[in-house]
Chain A
Amino acid sequence: MPPDQRTLDQLSLSLAEYERIVDLLDREPNEVELGMFGALWSEHCGYKNSRPLLKMFPTEGAYVLTKAGEENAGVVDIGDGRGVAFKIESHNHPSAIEPYEGAATGVGGIVRDIFAMGARPVAILDSLRFGPPQPDADTPPGVAAHNRHLLIGVVEGIGGYGNCLGIPTVGGEVSFSPSYSGNPLVNAMCIGVARIDRLQRARADGPGNLLMLVGADTGRDGIHGATFASVELDESSEERRPAVQVGNPFLEKLLMEACVQLAEEHGDWIVGLQDLGAAGLTSSSVECAAKAGTGIIIDVAKAPRREAGMTPYEVMLSESQERMLVIVKPEHEADVRALFEHWELHCATIGRVTDDGIVRIRDGDEEVAAVPARMLTDAPTYVRDGAPPRWLEDLQRRDLSPYAGDARDASDALLALLRSPEIASKRWVWRQYDHEVGTDTVAGPGADAAIIRIKGTTKAIAATTDGNAAYTHLDAYAGGAIAVVEAARNVACAGARPVAMTNCLNFGNPEKPDVYFQLKEAIRGMADAARALDVPVISGNVSLYNETNGEAIWPTPVVGVVGLLGDVGRAVPLAFRAGHDVLLIGPQPDVAGLAGSQYLRLREGLLAGRPAVDLDMAAKLQRFLVDAAAAGLLVSAHDIAAGGLAVAVAESCIAGDTGFDGDVTGDALTLFSETQSRAVVSCAPADTAAVERLARSCGVPAARVGATGGERMRLGPVDLAVHTLRDAFESGFPEAVAGVNANV
């Protein structure tokens, strides 16, 4: 007898999936087994809808050491015997309900993924999306107040958790659209560094080895978190509050120190290390066994509990935070226990590895579940038929050329752009994050890419996150490609060679043809761009069902790119210094660069057109930027993105407290188009010819557009004091988050 619809709904399983489970087992699953299937076959753990599409991504590259999907995070080899592990993950649904804890535990989860690799976490980046913080045509005052409440809570949660860990939060983004009202996006990325010979694996190899559960005690919090993340939000979502976990960063700090010490100093004591994230003990233990082709026995009675009377079902599906599973050689059980006890952490042996490929859950003497491990990890996949949304063609065909001519009040337009929360300085956010602990932050928040030096070497890594959902909304393929191109360009502007990427795919309900179309097209665009720029995908996360009351968010692929700088002394800042030539590198702006542009959205209230990207040109620009930095030719480099050339020049002026004098035509296309693959660089006048020569040899157009110096920015019709630019840039965000913060 199949369970009733309500039970299946709670587990996010369909009746067909239930029947498939019965077929596979050749019997009806019991309650515990069904709960385990529900968790592992959820979109969050099983990638039911996305797995066939993710195969489009390139995964191999010269630097790749651990590929996507193999371990908790991908790893690139940066030489000197060191590997860099990184991954991005979403915590959208919990943050919509409980912003502080949702964001905090999002940070906690991604940090555990990194130290589970045996790597010491060295940087966190956060890519955030919210509904408008102030009322507008789509946003009534109450909704705006709720959006502010979510933003303030999420920022506090990220700071409250990350600051306590002693990991610097060095970058990220904050962006707004009415589509995120009620469904904010919180994507957290963590980067770690390890000695390659100390990297750990999440495998339960070797029958007879022991499973030790360490860290926090297991409570009833977060049960069904994985399935909760795989359904749409509606008014009843507040009732899911018990599915939101509560974080304890102090415990995580101890767990991190213990696990890093275990990996660095005593890797021979253990065979595997795995964090407990979504679906808790179920997914961590089953995935370790499935990867190794082994089985496991777990006695839930041996798991330390936070509360009495918990059933085996609850212990197996609890998402209590700050827990790790360690697969230990039996002769070192006492050693491992002593190490964790030194860090004042609980540690319990709850089971062992077996050779029959079956996951057996016991409660004392009674066996309460027995399922082949690989049956649980082999979730069904769905290939669906996508179809473009009906509204798309009209939007794309909109002729933007009437807006390309003379910019009305160009100086006012620039100040309005700098003041808009989308472009304005995010200092209000990142001054709440410790971005310096570790003393490796060469460039932090506000830079094109964060730069983290690697002590003991001459090297540094550069990292950024990017994603422009307005573009993806207008053209999912181009938007996906541009997310990759823009992130890589930011890293290259800092002087680093992009070596690999991670991504978080935030979309609506994939069972809807238009959402599936967006997902598929965005992935195709990202994959093409990743190939063109040679930045393989080494890790990622998929967050679907981002809908509130049936309305999907804008399709939002977020890309994190990590680059390598061989000589940290060659890092390039974005700030102008006086007395240098300024060159515009890249193609002429075009009308496609107005599609989804901040200028048209802000000045004309128009979101239309069809964005485009020339991937060949993107690759050429990347080569130019990396080579020019390595040759020491550049004093500054800054990519042209939201707000176009005028905003890029203004940001370099503000960062360097230096003016600019340049002559360009005064049309909107020149000043505000967001045409891809362009950068503003400055160099000593004596190097200008060499920069132009290098650009020519890379096949990228380059033109001198002016020089730095003085206290004003003059760009065609724009003529403003640098302090006026700064006032607008710095005041925009605090103004946007100000207001009565109704706790609704």
Chain B
Amino acid sequence: MNFAVLVFPGTWSDRDCLYVLRDGLGQQASPVWHKEPDLSAFDAVVIPGGFSYGDHLRCGAIARFSPVMEAVVRHADAGKPVIGICNGFQILCESHLLPGALMRNDSLQFRCMDTHLRIDNPHTMFTSAGSAGQVLRVPISHGEGNYYADADTIARLEDERRVVFRYVTPAGGQTAAANPNGSLNNIAGIINERGNVLGMMPHPERAGDALTGGTDGLVIFRSMIESALAVAG
């Protein structure tokens, strides 16, 4: 599978994503500078974490105007997978590819720590290699990860099972203490209506190696690869 890993000025998870996709999973993956207008050669798009444009104005607010984002919209419209991680999630919200917004953490502090994510919908191209209720240990690293949307939007997301990942205890319990940033309904990751665009605050690429934090994040990338093979097959 051929992944495009987008690079905006200020992106820093690009190298980590490239490493896990190439060295960890043996996939093709290329860095793509934000001025690139064409993504048609790629099967999947990764919008990695970082501080695109230094988070100036608002996280992701400037990156959404980069030329590559028009190509991302076309890619998503074609039904091909897009995963936005951390700042990538923020960019997807700013671009209106996903609903809602990510506000300052309720602690008003940056947080870098392990979180536990429960797979609440295993029937997506990002979770098919996992199982319903499975708990993944994946770290977060953000100051603005507090997911918010109006009540109607939240109700729709829940009704349509578009909340894919939720912050939970290691045993799978949805508690306030397990919520690291104040996100509504402990939301850690959501998909669009069509199910091919995922935004998540935690960093699955940091959970790709037993030596440095476990391998639970690989479930997400493996799901993308298997789903693509299933489509191709």
- B56 — which chain A residues lie within 8 A by C-beta? 250
- B209 — which chain A residues lie within 8 A by C-beta? 439
A343 at the interface (CB under 8 A from B): yes
Q: Which of B9-17, B74-82, B89-97, B160-168 contacts A (4 or more CB under 8 A)?
A: B9-17
Q: Are B51 and A437 within 8 A (Cβ)? A: no
Q: Are A431 and B212 within 8 A (Cβ)? A: no
Q: Are A439 and B208 within 8 A (Cβ)? A: yes
- B206 — which chain A residues lie within 8 A by C-beta? 436-437, 439
- B205 — which chain A residues lie within 8 A by C-beta? 439
* Contacting residue for B112 out of A164, A431, A438, CB 8 A: A431
Determine which residue in A156, A251, A437 has the highest number of CB atoms from chain B within 10 A of its CB, and name it.
Answer: A437
Interface size class of B (residues with CB under 8 A): 20 to 34
- A438 — which chain B residues lie within 8 A by C-beta? 15-16
- Segment 42-63 of B: residues with Cβ below 8 Å from A: 50-51, 53-56
Query: With A and B bound together, what is the CA distance between A343 and B11 in angstroms?
Result: 12
- A525 — which chain B residues lie within 8 A by C-beta? none
Query: With A and B bound together, what is the CA distance between A436 and B12 in angstroms?
Result: 12
- B139 — which chain A residues lie within 8 A by C-beta? 436
Query: With A and B bound together, what is the CA distance between A442 and B212 in angstroms?
Result: 5
B211 at the interface (CB under 8 A from A): yes
* Consensus secondary structure, chain B interface: mixed
B170 at the interface (CB under 8 A from A): no
B159 vs chain A, min Cβ distance (A) = 35
The residue on B at minimum CB distance from A430 is B112
The residue on A at minimum CB distance from B19 is A439
A557 at the interface (CB under 8 A from B): no
B171 vs chain A, min Cβ distance (A) = 15
Query: With A and B bound together, what is the CA distance between A253 and B12 in angstroms?
Result: 9
Interface size class of A (residues with CB under 8 A): 20 to 34
B109 at the interface (CB under 8 A from A): yes
- A41 — which chain B residues lie within 8 A by C-beta? none
A581 vs chain B, min Cβ distance (A) = 26
Query: With A and B bound together, what is the CA distance between A204 and B114 in angstroms?
Result: 47
* Contacting residue for B110 out of A251, A432, A442, CB 8 A: A432
- A431 — which chain B residues lie within 8 A by C-beta? 109, 111-113
Q: Are B212 and A440 within 8 A (Cβ)? A: yes
* Contacting residue for B53 out of A166, A250, A439, CB 8 A: A250
Beta-carbon contacts of B95-110 to A below 8 Å, as 1s and 0s? 0000000000000011
Beta-carbon contacts of B141-153 to A below 8 Å, as 1s and 0s? 1010000000000
A439/B212 contact (C-beta < 8 A), A249-B54, A455-B19 known: yes
B37 at the interface (CB under 8 A from A): no
B172 vs chain A, min Cβ distance (A) = 20
Beta-carbon contacts of B199-233 to A below 8 Å, as 1s and 0s? 00001011011011100000000000000000000
Query: With A and B bound together, what is the CA distance between A586 and B194 in angstroms?
Result: 64
Beta-carbon contacts of B178-191 to A below 8 Å, as 1s and 0s? 00000000000000
- B53 — which chain A residues lie within 8 A by C-beta? 250
The residue on B at minimum CB distance from A166 is B12
The residue on A at minimum CB distance from B11 is A166
The residue on B at minimum CB distance from A120 is B15
Query: With A and B bound together, what is the CA distance between A164 and B12 in angstroms?
Result: 8
Query: With A and B bound together, what is the CA distance between A453 and B209 in angstroms?
Result: 12
Q: Are B110 and A453 within 8 A (Cβ)? A: no
Q: Given A166-B12, A439-B209, 10 more contacts at CB 8 Å?
A: A163-B110, A253-B9, A253-B12, A432-B110, A435-B112, A436-B203, A437-B13, A437-B141, A439-B208, A453-B212
**Can you give 10 contacting A-B residue pairs, CB < 8 Å?**
A163-B112, A163-B143, A166-B12, A250-B9, A250-B53, A253-B54, A431-B112, A437-B206, A439-B213, A455-B23
| Top-10 shortest CB links A-B | A166-B12, A250-B54, A164-B51, A434-B141, A434-B112, A439-B16, A432-B110, A159-B110, A431-B113, A436-B206
Q: CB within 8 Å of A: which residues of B?
A: 9-10, 12-13, 15-16, 19-20, 23, 50-51, 53-56, 109-113, 139, 141, 143, 203, 205-206, 208-209, 211-213
